[in-house]
Amino acid sequence: MNRRFCVPVAIVAIPLIAALTRPDVHARPQQPTAPKTFALKAARLFDGKSNSLTTPGVVVVADGKIVAAGSSATIPAGAEVIDLGDATLLPGFIDAHTHVTMMNSDDWKQRELDTLQKPIAEQALDATVNAKITLMAGITTVRDLGSHDYIDVGLRNAIRNGKVPGPRMLVSVHAIGSTGGHCDDCAGFRAGLFPHETGPAEGVINGADQARYAVRLAHKYGADIIKTCASGGVLSPTDDVDTPQLTQEELNAIVDEAHALRRKVATHCHGAEAAKRAIHAGVDSIEHGTFLDDEALDMMKQRGTYFVPTLMAVQGLQEQLDKGIYIPPAIALKARMAIAQIRSTFHRALAKGVNIGLGTDAAVYPHGRNPEEFHHMVDLGMKPIDALKAGTSADAQLLGLADRLGTLEPKKIADIVAVPGNPAENIRQTEHVFFVMKEGTIYRNDRLNH
């Protein structure tokens, strides 16, 4: 996760986005149009839950919902038929770990400087570009795990209200961690540089009472989910990557309060001891999980805790190391440690049958490359059909959206993508999305007029 400026700033991003996208009050109002019915056709269909593809594939959509799906689906009279040819229809992809409001950059120092110098409004506008790129890649839903200055809340709302294109967002407002830990964004700067020490308002806590307070503040200001940092991190400058950073009592308080508020908890965690504390507290997912031992994985299997390995983060770090770009030496050392270990951990989690979700840590690598996560999972031994489930129905279950998303079934929201060929035979076809529908609206169709 990229670090960001921690000084509280007035929330200017939301009204700015609204102002820039507000319709011209003098323009002639558009006449409402009748709801459109679509019939999408392709050579194949993956419904998000089956162990094989359906041939041929047909999905009927009306009023933003799926009416019928499968080879025998009846196409109603008057429907607009869109034949996508030798392709596969799939549920819109879900990325369970993103940072859409943060920028990727190969220039470490410039990125740090940008977070200090760029106005929050400009950062918010940058985030709208990331959101569109993500949607066009076929990611129709994201769980956004850590932002700042409520940019994620404003972006979520702007997307939801149709002001800017982007994936459906579940946001965490900011991550909750300890003073000087991975989620303390003033760590690494000299003392006294900022007006005050970070506290619960910024997600930095010490003790169970402050932990509950931070959850309540995040909930108050718009969090759909709660993100914690149970261990050190790769990209933070003042901690070891695998050290525990929250006590058992703090994690218990965070999870208890979040669940009482009907919010799930995602936990950044690299180290085994920190993971065991988090799993014992009842977190819903372990993010990264680089140094998990067999005991932690067995606990996850027993309790149904999800593992979100964020393999694209490892890919992004490896690419930066290969380019020889500047990375602070301590961080480069941690990156190499993580790269060396994560593959072994993934193999063991897969063998034990731990629930695995697809999440990428977007911003550690360039936005829009999210679907590359599929092939990394397959390269490490996951069956292609199971990787497709991880990025659709399994993620929908993790996010608490399985009743609305993740499969192509009647009454589900019409989030649908298409890729060329057969991704069950060549998983890298997921990187070539050419058709994107979200909530019944077509945002991309590269085969239009072909």
Across-strand partners of 269? Answer: 288
Q: What is the pLDDT of residue 416?
A: 98
State the pLDDT confidence band at 7, using cuts at 50, 70 and 90: very low
Confidence of residue 206 (pLDDT cuts 50, 70, 90): very high
Q: Is the dihedral of CA 255, 257, 263, 266 positive or negative?
A: negative
- Contact indicator for 149, 116 with CB cutoff of 8 Å: no
Instruction: Give 302's Cβ-side CA count (13 Å radius).
Output: 10
Higher local confidence (pLDDT), 260 or 331: 260
pLDDT tens across 173-191, in order? 999 999 887 886 767 667 8
Q: Quick one: pLDDT at residue 191?
A: 80
Residue 101 and residue 130 in contact, taking contact as beta carbons nearer than 8 Å: yes
pLDDT in tens, 255-300: 999 999 999 999 999 999 999 999 999 999 999 999 999 999 999 9
> 402: how many CB neighbours lie within 10 A of its CB?
17
* Between 98 and 186, the higher pLDDT residue: 98
The model carries a pTM of 0.89
Q: Determine the distance from the C-alpha atom of residue 63 to the mean position of all C-alpha atoms in its chain, rounded to a whole number.
A: 27
Short-list 133, 143, 94, CA closest to 287: 143
Lowest mean pLDDT segment, chosen from 188-197, 209-218, 246-255, 384-393: 188-197
The predicted structure's pLDDT at residue 73: 92
- Going by pLDDT thresholds of 50, 70 and 90, the confidence category of residue 6 is very low
pLDDT at residue 202, as a whole number? 86
Q: What is the pLDDT of residue 189?
A: 67
- Across the chain, mean pLDDT equals 90
More confident residue, 240 or 119: 119
Positive/negative CA dihedral, 150, 151, 153, 154 = positive
pLDDT for position 186:
65
Position 28 scores a pLDDT of 39
Say how many C-beta atoms besides its own lie within 10 A of residue 56's C-beta.
15
Q: How many CA atoms lie within 13 A of 293 on its CB side?
A: 7
Task: Report the C-alpha gap between 153 and 227 in whole angstroms.
Answer: 14
148 has pLDDT over 80? yes
Confidence of residue 434 (pLDDT cuts 50, 70, 90): very high
Size of the chain in residues: 450
Lowest model confidence (mean pLDDT) among 33-47, 102-116, 185-199, 223-237: 185-199
CB burial class (10 A; 0-12, 13-18, 19+) of residue 433?
buried
pLDDT of residue 197: 75
- Rounded CA-CA distance 412/258 in Å is 27
Number of Cβ within a 10 Å radius of residue 369: 18
- Rounded to whole angstroms, the Cα distance separating 16 from 283 reads 35
Strand 139-144: give its sheet, edge to edge. 93-98, 139-144, 168-171
pLDDT of residue 24: 40
- DSSP designation for 391: I
Quick: pLDDT tens for 219-255: 999 999 999 999 988 887 788 888 999 999 999 999 9
The answer, yes or no, to whether residue 194 has pLDDT greater than 80, is no
| Spatial CB neighbours of 177, under 8 Å, sequence gap ≥ 6 | 183, 184, 203, 204, 205, 228, 229, 245, 246, 268
Taken in order of first residue, the domains within the chain and their CATH numbers are: 37-92+407-445 (2.30.40.10), 93-399 (3.20.20.140)
pLDDT at 133 over 70: yes
pLDDT at site 36: 84
Weakest-pLDDT range from 7-11, 179-183, 429-433:
7-11
